[in-house]
């Protein structure tokens, strides 16, 4: 994926537990570094498991996108009229994930306590990255019903858009947009009626430069339709669209594409997400997301969610995207940020799942997880 988001291992879902704790202020940030490139893998089992990977920088096939300098201190924009917070502000942690499996299998490992308490105990997104129309409704329903039973809000990530990752590590997805539209219908049918956050198709907007103008317009039409279908199926679903990250496109350019993809319409969108599988600091993302939202328009109800899973030390200065050393966990997942127009800090990419350099792409690597967590 170009200057984008992640290496997912395509398969199904990922993890999540509930943690409403805010991890506190981010470490000092050096400001956005160059775009990092993020790859994605493909996935795990037919139950929850695929999760994205790193950061973003333009892929070899895509034309480089302009870099923008984001201010290290988010501007304090006045509080606007906001939607009411979800009834269940605690986030749901899904019990089936690679880190949960590692913890169960390695109780005597000297890294166990750190990985268990700092990663496995946190709520994270559940990815649906394999094109399995016959089982997708039941698999989504298993996650959303479990969250509802606990009074927790699940975060789910549909990642099956055709030509995803522009033929990169996470290539794959639905065989075409008609098949994708039908898959989304079945995905939405599993969302239930409770609170749920939907991170809709990472990289699908920010990395669309690899498509022709006609292909891009068709993709954006399908994304707009997807948001409408999801919100029609469950009016309490919060749908967020791909804003890339602060080291990629300019806010005006990203907002123009987002508008075409339906992100400015209340019928399909609750706002944008950024930094999926990336490393840019929370402060840089807050400033960037507010500028995107201002350029997007669509009313004061739109907000943003930020992936803080691996951004505790900011992006590496050399722009490395593949399991870069010296990174740290970011703020703990929460839907109570205290920041105007920032609806949540989420762990969309599960820390410890490799981008392909410290382990096999998309697989949990204990040494990498420990490095991030310690």
The two three-digit tokens of residue 337, written as one number:
């940020």
Q: What is the dihedral of CA 184, 190, 195, 197, to 10 degrees?
A: -40
Show the beta-strand stretches assigned E in the chain. 126-128, 155-158, 196-199, 237-242, 271-274, 303-307, 342-346
List of residues 6+ apart from 22 with CB closer than 8 A = 331, 332, 334, 336, 337, 338, 345
List of residues 6+ apart from 118 with CB closer than 8 A = 329, 373
For 275-333, give the DSSP string: -TT----HHHHHHHHHHHHHHH-S-TT-EEEEE-TT-TT-S-TT---SS-TT----SPP
Show the beta-strand stretches assigned E in 24-119. none
DSSP state of 120: I
Q: How far apart (Å, rounded) are the C-alpha atoms in residues 43 and 52?
A: 9
Residue owning tokens 């994205």: 52
Which residues are bridge partners to 199 per DSSP? 240
Enzyme catalytic residues: 165, 203, 355
- 155 touches 124 (CB < 8 A): yes
Q: Note every long-range contact of 64-67, with CB atoms under 8 Å and residues 24 or more positions apart, other chains counting.
A: 64/3, 64/35, 65/2, 65/3, 65/35, 65/209, 65/248, 65/249, 65/253, 66/249, 66/250, 66/253, 67/32, 67/34, 67/35, 67/247, 67/248
Q: Looking at 196-274, list the stretches that DSSP marks H as alpha helix, in order from N- to C-terminal side.
A: 213-233, 251-260
Closest CA to 52 of 370, 334, 351, 282: 351
DSSP state of 274: E
């Amino acid at each position: 994926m170009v200057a984008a988001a992640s290496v997912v291992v395509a398969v199904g879902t990922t993890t999540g537990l509930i943690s409403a704790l805010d991890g506190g202020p981010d470490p000092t940030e050096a400001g956005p570094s160059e775009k990092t490139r993020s790859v994605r893998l493909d996935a795990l089992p037919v139950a929850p498991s695929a999760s994205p990977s790193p950061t973003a920088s333009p892929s070899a096939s895509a034309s480089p996108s302009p870099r923008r300098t984001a201010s290290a201190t988010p501007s304090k924009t006045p509080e606007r009229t906001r939607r009411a917070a979800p009834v269940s502000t605690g986030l749901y942690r899904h019990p089936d994930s690679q880190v949960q499996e590692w913890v169960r299998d390695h109780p005597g490992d000297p890294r166990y306590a750190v990985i268990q308490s700092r990663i496995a105990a946190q709520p994270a997104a559940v990815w649906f990255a394999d094109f399995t129309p016959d089982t997708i409704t039941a698999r989504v329903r298993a996650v959303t019903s479990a969250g509802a039973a606990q009074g927790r809000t699940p975060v789910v990530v549909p990642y099956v858009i055709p030509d995803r990752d522009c033929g990169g590590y996470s290539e794959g997805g639905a065989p075409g947009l008609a098949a994708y539209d039908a898959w989304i219908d079945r995905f939405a049918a599993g969302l239930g009626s409770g609170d749920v956050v939907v991170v809709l198709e990472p990289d699908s907007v920010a990395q669309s430069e690899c498509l022709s103008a006609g292909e891009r317009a068709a993709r954006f039409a399908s994304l707009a339709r997807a948001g409408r279908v999801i919100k029609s199926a469950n009016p309490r679903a919060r749908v967020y669209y791909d804003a890339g990250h602060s080291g990629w496109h300019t806010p005006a350019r990203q907002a123009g594409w987002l508008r075409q993809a339906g992100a400015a319409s209340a019928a399909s969108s609750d706002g944008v997400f950024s930094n999926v599988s990336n490393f840019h600091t929370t402060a840089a993302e807050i400033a960037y997301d507010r500028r995107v939202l201002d350029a997007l328009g669509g009313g004061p109800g739109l907000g943003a969610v930020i992936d803080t899973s691996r951004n505790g030390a900011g992006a590496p200065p050399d722009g490395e995207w593949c399991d870069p050393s010296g990174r740290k966990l970011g703020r703990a997942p929460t839907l109570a940020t205290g920041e105007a127009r920032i609806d949540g800090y989420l762990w969309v990419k599960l820390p410890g799942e490799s981008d392909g350099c410290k382990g096999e792409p998309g697989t949990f690597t204990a040494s990498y997880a420990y490095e991030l967590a310690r």
